[in-house]
Every structure is written in C-alpha cells, then in structure tokens.
Chain A
Amino acid sequence: MLVEVLATFGIGAMSIVLFLIRYLPISPKLRDYIVSSAFFAILVWFLLYVFIKTGQAVFILGLAISTFISAILGALAGREISKIARMPKFMLEEPEKTLVKKYVILLATYAELTNRLLSRMVFICDIKAVKKVFNKSVKDHPVLKGCWSAENTIKADAVVKNLRGISEKESELKLLRAFSSLKSGLIDLFGTVASPESAGKIVREVINEMKLGRGYEPRDEHEILLGLPESVSGKDKPRTFAYILFKRVLGPLLRECKRATIQKLQRELEGLAKEPVVAKVKISGDGMLDLSGLYEHLSGMEMGNGMQETTLTFSTTLNACYPTIRRDIGAERTCTIISDAFSDLFRKYYDFLLRYGIMDAIPEDVDLPKDVLGAILKNLKLPEEYRLKSGLIYFIRGADTEKGYKFFTGLAKHVRTLCLTGTNPREVRETYGLEGVSIVWVAFERYAEGETIHPNKLGELTATISKFFGKGKGVVFVDCIDSMVMANGFKRVMSWLKEVKKIMTKSKSNLLVTIDPSSFSNRQLASIEREMKQIKI
C-alpha cells in the first residue's frame, strides 16, 4: 500500500511540474530539453513501480535505458543553461534575458560600450593618459581592479571575479558607479583632446551602433545616458530621467490596478489638463504610460529647465493618481511599491533626486527604509557655509565675479539654482561646470543663442525669477547688477530688488548678487549694505 501511495504522490507531483514548465519564460530549446529529461525521469519512476509489482527484469532494463536518456537530455539542458549564462546580452533572445542576473546584463553592456569607446579613443588620445584615467577609476572603484587587458580593452571576467561575494543588488550599484566614473573620465579626456561636442557625438554614435546592430534594450540605454557627464548628454537627461521616474515608480503601480481604476485615472489626468505639462502624460486602456507628448515637450530644452519640468510633471501626476491607486490596491501595497521604487532610484541617482527635489514628490504616508532616510537627511543638510537665511538678498564683494561664482558653484550642488549672467551662458557653463543650472543671458543685444533679456527689461527679469520660484525653493544668482544699474539707474534697480524680495519671501528662497565696489559710490554701497547681507569669503 505504501509503495502505491508514494509512487502516486511522487509521479503525480513530477507530472504537475512537467505541465508547469511550459509556463516558464525560458528559451524553447532549453524548455524542450528540460521537459524531455523530466519525462524520461518520470518514466524511470514508473518502471521502478512496475518492477516492484511484477519483479520482471525487463522493466529494470527499461528503467536503466530511461535513466540514460534522461541523463543525456539533462546534460544538454545543463549545457544550454551554461551557454545562456555566459552569452553576451545582445546575443540573447527575449525569454532568456529573464534568466540572467541583471548585473551580468549590465556588465556585458557597460564593458561593450567602454570597449567601443576605447577602440575609438586609442587613435586620438595618448594610451598612457587613457590608462591614467582607468587607474584613477580603479582607485575609487576597486571593482574594476585587474580588468585592463593587454589589448587595451576591459575584461568583464575580471570584474565578475571582483564581484564575488557581493550581493546582486550591491553588485549592480557598484557597476553603475564604477563604469559611470570610468566613462566620464574617458569622455572628459576625449573632450579635452578633441572637443566636448565630438565626445558627445561619439558616445551617441556608439549607443546608436549598439542599439541598431545588437537589439539593445532601452532600459539600459537610459541608465547609461544618466551616468554620462552632463556636457555630453545634458539635453537628453530630462527625457531619460522622465522615463526612469515614470516607468519605475508609476509603471509598477499601474500594472497592479484594475481596469476600472485605470479608466478613472485616465479621467483624472484629463481633469488636470489645465497644467499643460501634465496633460502630456497619458495612460492607455491597458495601464501603460505614454510619455511621447512629454518627450516632445522636453526635447531641446536646457537641462536645468527640463529637469524642473520633469520634476513638476512627475510630482503632480503621482500625487493626482496616488489616492485612487491606494483605494484600489490597498495602502500597504501602494506604499511598498513606491518605497521600493524610490529607494532603488535614490541609491542610484541620489544627487539628481536631491538636487531637483524629487523626494518631495513622495506621498506623506510612504515610509522609506532607514538607510535611505539617513542618507537623505545627511545629504539634505547643507554645509555650514551654504546655509542662507530664507527670504534674504545676499551679496558677495569682489572686483570680478570669480569669488561669487566659486560660492555659487558649490551652492548649486545642493539646491535648485538660476543664474542671470552678463556673459555668454555657454562660456559660464564651461568655465564653472554649471551644467545642470538654468542660465539666462542678460545682454544689451539680442543673440540667437539661448534666452536673452535686455538689462532694462526689469519686468521680464521679474517674470523669469517669479516663474523659477513658483516651482519651489531655490537660489537666483545675478552677476550683472552693474550693467542693470547702467541701463536703469541705481534707484530703479534697488526698487526692483525689493520687488524680487517679496516674491522670494513667499517661496523661502534667496537672491545672490556680486557687487564690484569700484562700480558704486560710497552712498550706493551703504544703501546696498542696508538692503542686503554680505557673504564674506
């Protein structure tokens, strides 16, 4: 009796597995091997049962043959698994990609991208300089240790060895940081030898080459673009960031919603059409996000403006959809999904998230893990020298704007900033590395390049500042107060500053100006000191 029960139970369970295997997202070849091997394994157990019952030796021979066939098919399956695991990502078919760990996929992609860049660089740059950049990255990121080959390429195998013993998630982060730093170094070097434009061009060429020739997945393309220096992919970053934010946070939430909820959300977003940017985000009937309108809107936008636009759109959309989604899938599940998505994003792109205030978009009842919260508080805490009292106008005294820019560059790493400058914005960006900052050119002549405002158009300047403060707290830096005084007179500029101060007080922001004492009389300087607070550097 015992043998019947056990045989039925064992053979039955294995037959169920045989039936379930076909639902696994694995390649057809691997599935065929596993299914056939499992079939012969079941046959082995069946023949064993028959042998125990009848005692005829022919059944044990059948069992041995089945064992043999099952072993051969099992070995073929094992070889196929091993092949899939070692295959470069671009050679894998869609179902096989789900089997391979994400960090292995990332590594294959990064190594390929870096090698393609290196192959183009060796003709232009000195190989010693390239190696120096590599050694610097190795110093900061030991995960790259020993992966430089004699053929001046990156060996992915060595990186895998360095990642031994590190968890999958941690490996992913380490790779992202290490390769971002290495690629930034290489691209900067290329930009110095050739020009930043040509560096940007080759990166785009390499990415397109990989995309066209190798069936490249957009998900990784976005991660790579976000990791590149801003001088190369500045204009692509807002779109990339919008993709990552919407698809990683809102996407998983929408996937869990019922059809009726999706329809309700569609109506709610339509109701928000008065916010012109939010109207550009659409949800299809099956819960997929359509961001094409937003991409179109963001294309060609300066990085600073684009990022602010992205932040605002994302924050408004998430907070509009949140209550409805919460009612449908439950508070706990909604909070878990949002918390997981934000934690993952924060660990990878914390500088972006903090600089553009994306963390403010998180609904209040969502709890983040302790390590993420700790890191946010640590990073949010401004260094002592950059703590400004909200609503005040500050000035920095100096014969040139150098001191002012030095302070502003440091400040721009921590808070949202807008720069009103009398110099060509491109020059300012290149000299001070202010890639993510919105810059407005205050010039007497209207140039085709970028946004230009005449210094006597104080109304236009107020509108620009007001628009900037309208999107949240920040700091506006003005390095051309003397040309404004020249165009409008001292009194008008002072009353303009008072007007700006009123706007600033509302948004708890600050204005920072550079003052060249030789351009003002003692009386004017006394008046400036009464209205503003000096920052002593």
Chain B
Amino acid sequence: MFDILIILFISIGFTITAYSIRNVVNAMKFLRFPVLWRTMGLGFIGGTILSIGILFLYLGGVLDEYGWIIFIYPSIIGVLSIHAVYTLTRKLHAG
C-alpha cells in the first residue's frame, strides 16, 4: 500500500515538475539574471531526477544504505543558490 502511494506521489510530482521546467526554460529568453534561472532550472531538474532515484533506491531496499550519496546534491544546489541570490542582489543594487 505504502509502495503504491509513494510511486504515485513521486511520479505525479515528476510530471508536474517537468511542466514547470518547460515553462521556466521558455520564459528564460525574456528574463534577466540568467544565473538565477539557470540555478532554479538545475534545482528543478536535479530535484525531480533525484526523487525518482530515491524511489528506485527505496524499492530496491538500499535507500538506508546508499541514501547519503543523494545529500551531495542539496549541498551543491544550496551553495549555488546562495551565490545566485547574492549576485542578483548585487546586480540590482548596481543597476
């Protein structure tokens, strides 16, 4: 029961996120601050792929063993996002 719910939530989440990625990519040509949108896009895409990864690791029964590898991702994205927001606020201040 749990497994079905997990598969359902993660799969629907994946589809919805794919839709938002498409929107952001399409909007990017009209928007300033590419560094922010690139990081945001990377966050969306990476997050979505990883949720599928988490799902497969869980279904394979190895999530508690190898799950730590996945934490590398938020560390990188977190640092990149801090950098993006910082650059953006500086640019806005200068402008």
Binding site for B on A (CB under 8 A): 2-3, 6-7, 9-14, 16-17, 20-21, 23-25, 41, 44-45, 48-49, 51-52, 55, 57-58, 60-61, 63-65, 67-68, 70-72, 74-79, 81-82, 84-86, 98-102, 104, 160, 168
Given known pairs A20-B85, A100-B30, A101-B32, the reply for A70 and B6 (CB within 8 Å) is no
Binding site for A on B (CB under 8 A): 2, 5-6, 8-10, 12-14, 16-17, 19-24, 26-33, 37, 43-44, 47-48, 51, 54-55, 58, 63-64, 67-68, 70-75, 77-79, 81-82, 85-86, 88-89, 92, 95
User: B26, B33, B77: which contacts A99 (Cβ < 8 A)?
Assistant: B33
A86 with B78: CB separation less than 8 A = no
In whole angstroms, what is the CA distance A100 to B37 when docked?
Answer: 12
In whole angstroms, what is the CA distance A7 to B19 when docked?
Answer: 28
Given known pairs A81-B23, A81-B24, the reply for A13 and B74 (CB within 8 Å) is yes
Residues of B within 8 A of A16 (CB): 78, 82
Residues of B within 8 A of A68 (CB): 9-10, 12-13, 16
B24 with A82: CB separation less than 8 A = yes
Task: For the A-B complex with A13-B81, A71-B12 known, give 16 more contacts whose Cβ atoms are closer than 8 Å.
Answer: A2-B68, A3-B67, A10-B71, A10-B75, A10-B78, A48-B70, A65-B9, A70-B13, A70-B47, A72-B16, A77-B20, A85-B31, A98-B95, A100-B32, A101-B31, A102-B32
B85 with A71: CB separation less than 8 A = no
Sample (25) of A-B pairs whose CB atoms are under 8 Å apart: A6-B71, A7-B71, A10-B72, A11-B74, A13-B74, A13-B75, A13-B82, A17-B85, A23-B89, A24-B85, A49-B71, A52-B63, A60-B2, A60-B63, A71-B48, A75-B19, A78-B23, A81-B24, A82-B24, A82-B26, A85-B27, A85-B31, A86-B30, A101-B30, A102-B32
B78 to chain A, nearest CB (A): 2
Chain A to chain B: the 10 pairs with minimum beta-carbon distance, closest first = A13-B78, A78-B20, A10-B74, A6-B71, A85-B30, A71-B13, A64-B9, A3-B68, A78-B23, A85-B27
In whole angstroms, what is the CA distance A426 to B81 when docked?
Answer: 61
Residues of B within 8 A of A60 (CB): 2, 6, 54, 58, 63
Given known pairs A10-B75, A13-B79, A60-B6, the reply for A82 and B23 (CB within 8 Å) is yes
